[in-house]
Every structure is written in structure tokens, then in C-alpha cells.
A = this chain, B = another copy of it.
Amino acid sequence: MHLITKESIIEAHERIKPYIHQTPVLTSESIDEQAGCRIFFKCENFQKVGAFKARGAMNAALSLSEAERNKGLATHSSGNHAQALARAAKILGTKSYIVMPRTAPEIKKRGVRAYGGEIFECEPTLQAREATLAEVIVKTGATEIHPFNNYKVMEGQATATKELIEAVSPLDYVLAPVGGGGLLSGTALAARFFSPKTIVIGTEPAGSDDAFRSLQSGKIEEAQSNTIADGLLTKLGDKTFPIIQDGVKEIITVTDEEIIAAMRLIWERLKIIVESSCAVPFAAVLKSKHKFLGKRVGIILSGGNVDLEKVGKWFGSN
């Protein structure tokens, strides 16, 4: 069905190890008390570029032939994958071409430029992004590295869960957020190969519950964007969906209020910065306490790139 095997994930991990952090796993007695289970937080917010995306982009870039690599890497992304790919290109001494909507935050553009990435601005629609990317690829001969619908990217993302399992096995559950499904499909594959008894659960904002609906209907549903979890607005891809159907037991959805409360607890108790999308799995555990009671639960904290100007709005101000 697909090309990712236990061995290919092990190889991917060896391939990217020199270029990524083996991120820490944090625990908190007071959080465990509140949640009623033992939670192991895999801190990809401490990863290079501040998110797990560094893993997949690096694995995909390192897997190209030398001829491909020399012509550069391209993608359309307004988020963490853009920086991750620009960083991978810089490390490999090649170019990166990043298509971004002209409305993308200046700070994201600066992040890409800091790694030497060349930005192509377009209108903020999927159609414009895809058309612009196609032009860039024709012009440059660069290889597209899709943010999630790419087996080498998924394989790279799988290494986060592999590390978590190696650090704190056995786990009854592992939870990850789902947007396009790169992280969640990687999580499902890593669990299957390295800890088959661990149940994988996807977690999603209620205001963009397309993955939840896709698992119900059996086909890829369109995404909405009615949530603060702005890293999770994408619909699934044709490569990620079947792996998620196969390896993910269920998807729990949570409201923005639940996401903010969970994010606040992580900031206050763990003393670490996580972005809103990243708090979704912990919100799901707090919402479904009965399910996880007394269990050992792994959570992939996906990233920590927060626009601090928004914090006052989330947490109130006085």
C-alpha cells in the first residue's frame, strides 16, 4: 500500500539525527493529578525551527538524488514547514523556493529569509498557491517537498514518536494533532512498528473537524477554518488518509475554549511555550478523562511558534 516500513523509519532516523534535536520528554505530577493519568510530553516545541516539521523536511531533502538536490527545493506553505524546508536547503547548500500567501505574517517571511529561502508571494487561495508553485518549479527545476502528502516527510515525522517510545515505553496511548495528517500518519506508523499495543488517537479542533468527518464518511472531507488552532486548518492528503484510516483508532475533537485552557495549563505547569495547535491533544485528554484513567499516555507537543501579541487575547488581560 505504501512505502514506509519499520526499516525505512529506522533509516530515516539515522539520516536526520545529525541535523535535529532529540527532544526531551517532560512530565508533571500536578498535571498528572489533574488529568488522572500519567502523561509523557514529547517536546517538539524545542525542535529546530520550533516544530516537528524539521524532521520531515530534512528527511525528504536528504533522500533526493544529488542532481535533484542541486536544483533546489520548493513548497507552498505559510507555516513551520516553510522554515523547515528553507533550513534543510541551507544545510545542504542548495536553494529553497517558498510560495507564501501575501497575507502571511511578516515574522514567518523573515524566518524563511533568515535561512536564505526565496519567497514568492501569491494571492491567499489554494488555487493561487498551487499555480504559483507550478510556475516556480517549471522555471527553476526545483523538487516540490509537500508539507505532509509525501512519504519521506511522513517517515521523518514518525521519528518523533519512535523517540518517545524509546524513552518511556510502554505507552497505552499516543495522541497527536491532525491537520494534513503528516504527523498523525507518522505517529500511527511508528506505533505500529515500535509499540504495536499502543493505541493511536488523533485530536482536532471542533472548528476544523475534517479528519473526524473523513474517518466517519470514508472519504477526504473539506476543512473549515473556524478555530484558533491555525496549524490544523488543512484537509487530509491522499497519501496520509489511508494510513490514518488504518492506524488511528479515533479522533477526538475539542473546542477553542478547551484548547486555550489546556495551553494555559501547559504554560503554567510545564513552564514551556506551546502553540495553540500543539495544545489540542492535551485538551482531548482533559476532555475524555474516563478513557485515559490510570493509563500511560504519550502526547506529541508539535510546536512552539507563538505570536506573543496574541497572548493577551487568549488569557485575558488586566
Q: Give a binary string over A295-318; 1 marks a CB under 8 Å from any B CB, 0 the rest.
A: 000000000101011111101111
User: Main SS of chain A's interface residues?
Assistant: helix
Shortest Cβ distance from A74 into chain B, in angstroms?
25
Which of B50, B267, B312, B316 is within 8 Å of A315, CB to CB? B312
**Which residue of the partner chain B has the closest CB to A46?**
B271
Chain A 1-28 interface 0/1 with B at a Cβ cutoff of 8 Å (1 = within):
0000000000000000000000010000
Give how many copies assemble into the complex.
2
A81 located at the interface, meaning its Cβ lies under 8 Å from any Cβ of chain B in the complex = no
- Residues of chain B within 8 A of A310, CB atoms compared: 317-318
Asked whether A273 is an interface residue with its Cβ less than 8 Å from the other chain, the reply is yes
Residues of B within 8 A of A50 (CB): 271
Per a CB cutoff under 8 Å, which of B24, B272, B311 touches A312?
B311
Alpha-carbon gap, A242 to B161, bound state (A): 52
Name the distance in Å between A44's Cβ and chain B's nearest Cβ: 10
Say yes or no for A268: interface residue by CB 8 A criterion: yes
B313 touches A309 (CB 8 A): no
Pick the contact of A317 from B264, B268, B317 — CB < 8 Å?
Answer: B317
List 4 tightest A-B contacts by C-beta distance, closest first.
A312-B312, A312-B317, A271-B304, A308-B315
Contact surface of A with B, Cβ cutoff 8 Å: 24, 45-46, 50, 264, 267-268, 271-274, 304, 306, 308-313, 315-318
